[in-house]
Structure 1
Amino acid sequence: MGAVTNITPVVSKIYCFSSQTTLMVRRRPQIVNGGGLVVMNSNQKVVFSVDGCGILGVKGELILRDGDGAPVLFIRKKGGVVQALSAHNRWNSYLMDYERPSKLVFSLREPKSRLLTKSAIKISIDAKENGKDGNFEVKGSFSERACTIMDRRGNVVAQVGLKETMANKDFYHVVVQPGYDQAFVIGVIAILDNIHGESTRC
């Protein structure tokens, strides 16, 4: 028997696989069908999709769906006076239960100021934490398709990159390491896409 891979579910263990997985992400044209993202596996099968403002009609809200189109995560940019005064934007991601948001599963903190942009984006999966340190962080440049999601121990969770033969940033790959939650990874990618004003944003 082979070694058992440690499973790190955030959304669900059903999205955690024992082998490294390469997912291909394609941005949908906003003009044609409202934008968003389509995520395929190595067999060209759609495993996730992301609806953004062009489809939902609301800024700062995203829905991650599985390959069958069922909603998995509802993602919302937090608003309000306290958030307006904060140095960071906060994104909360909720499990979808009977088509409605339910349990908070992770929060992402994005620096507002350009002076803070060198700070890593922090992600917390513990609702009791204030997210200052976070359980995960994003390093590198998403806009250049060269960034890494890491856990707090410094282990690589997933890497975003472009294939050497392709210079088109509308089509890129995400390599998810064994045992990590692919739905969580794509949820983070969806937020990064919106932060950088790409396909999920109006």
Structure 2
Amino acid sequence: MRIVRMWKSLSRTRSVHNHQEQHDHQEYKATGNSTSEACTSLTVWRKSLLISCKGFTVIDSNGDLVYRVDNYVGHPEEVILMDGSGKSVLTMRRRKKLSLIDTWFVHDGEAGNCYPTRSTFAASKSMPTFYVRKNKNMLNTNPRSILAYVYREACGHKRHTYMIEGSFTHRSCKVLDESRNVVAEIKRKEANNGGVSYGLDVFHLIVHPGFDSGLAMALVLVLDQLFS
């Protein structure tokens, strides 16, 4: 019964969003990138498809389910991003030791019981590939405030690989690489021709060519923890 309800909910989601998603997809293809390869436009819905669960549902421009997060309650120590079939794609883990700077580690797949401490890295088969650190000097009044830095674990702790600027509260963020090229964006989803207002629970995630959409969604989940 729960699965039936889940797919009924997904069908309603498709019927509501599919027409505008295809319109937005064409718009981003025309204006989002100068190369022949188009950006990927995803709609993020801050709602689980499972009854009595909280989470996220992510659909593509065709209305197909591509990512989901279930059992997302409060401020968890761990968040698992799954694909549409329920397979674990990435696991985000909050740094457990006391620190003034909020930090999240990103693992491939399901990380199991390995927490990101130096003593467990050597024994773990699931070392983090990235970690996200909140900017402690963030100025909320600046629209280009740097919200967080993203580091590649293999490169050590000195230089960030990506940075995220803007305002997640207003669903207006950009992920930039070291050369300040935009690799992903979070944007408000606007109603067409005076239609229904989507509010903050439904928004766009635009992934530029060459950037992994799973990592982009992982950054959304971490930002939701840091700033919601």
Which interval holds the TM-score relative to the shorter structure? 0.7 to 0.9
After TM superposition, the structure 1 stretch with the greater mean CA deviation from structure 2, 37-46 or 103-112, is: 103-112
For 1:126, the equivalent position in structure 2 comes to 153
Give the helix-richer structure, 1 or 2: 2
Q: Does 1:43 align with 2:74?
A: no
Are 1:89 and 1:110, in contact at CA under 8 Å, matched by a contact in 2?
A: yes
Q: 2:164 aligns with which of 138, 141, 144?
A: 138
Change (3 A) 1:98 1:168: closer
For 1:169, the equivalent position in structure 2 comes to 200
Name which structure has the greater RCO, CA cutoff 8 Å, separation 6+.
1
**Which letter does structure 2 place at the counterpart of 1:89?**
D
**Distance in 2 between residues matched to 1:30 and 1:69, nearest whole Å:** 12
Q: 1:77 aligns with which of 94, 103, 107?
A: 94
Change (3 A) 1:139 1:154: same
Q: Does 1:106 align with 2:125?
A: no
Q: How does 1:1-202 map to 2 (within 5 A)?
A: 18-28=37-47, 32-51=51-70, 53-54=72-73, 59-80=76-97, 84=98, 86-96=99-109, 102-111=126-135, 118-130=145-157, 132-165=158-191, 166-197=197-228
Q: Kindly state the Cα deviation for residue 31 of structure 1 after the two structures are TM-superposed.
A: 10
Q: Partner of 1:147: helix, strand, or coil?
A: strand
What TM-score do the two structures reach when normalised by structure 1?
Answer: 0.75
Identity over aligned pairs, percent: 29
**Distance in 2 between residues matched to 1:50 and 1:148, nearest whole Å:** 22
**Distance in 2 between residues matched to 1:49 and 1:65, nearest whole Å:** 5
The number of equivalent residue pairs is 173
For 1:8, the equivalent position in structure 2 comes to none
What TM-score do the two structures reach when normalised by structure 2?
Answer: 0.67
**Distance in 1 between residues matched to 2:102 and 2:134, nearest whole Å:** 5
Q: What are the ranges of 5 or more consecutive residues in structure 2 without an aligned counterpart?
A: 1-36, 115-125, 192-196
Q: Partner of 1:88: helix, strand, or coil?
A: coil
Select the structure of larger CA radius of gyration.
2
Q: What are the ranges of 5 or more consecutive residues in structure 1 without an aligned counterpart?
A: 1-17, 198-202
